[in-house]
Amino acid sequence: MKIKNFDGELYKKARITDLIIFGINLIIENKEKCTFERLIKECFTLFPEAFSFSKYSQWPDSLKLDRRLRTLRKRKLISGDPKTSFSLTKLGKTIALETSKTFRQRKLFK
């Protein structure tokens, strides 16, 4: 799936955990290993306003992912850890597909 541009006002309405799950899914769908660093890049590239420092918006804030990744693991939506890689559980994959569908319906893809 090619994504050219996201409407910042629209993705700001989404939960940050759903954006992370969406990012993990995109990386995996592109047949890449979803490492912590790769996930930071993906989320920041797709959703810069949600994953940047407030004072330095040109840089990604990895803490915005780190804390939520622990929550997603506890909720059994993802597996893995920052030292290895991440993958989605069956429930996580369902949420990723629902998020993708919601984005398309709201014309988030341009």
User: Could you read off the pLDDT tens digit of each residue along the chain, which spans 110 residues?
Assistant: 445 455 556 677 789 999 999 999 999 999 999 999 999 999 999 999 889 998 998 999 999 999 999 999 999 999 999 999 999 999 999 999 998 888 776 654 44
Per domain, the residue ranges of the chain are 8-105
- Amino acid occupying residue 96: A
Instruction: State residue 68's pLDDT score.
Output: 95
Asked if the 8-105 domain carries CATH number 1.10.10.10, the reply is yes
* Measured distance CA(27)–CA(34) in Å, rounded: 6
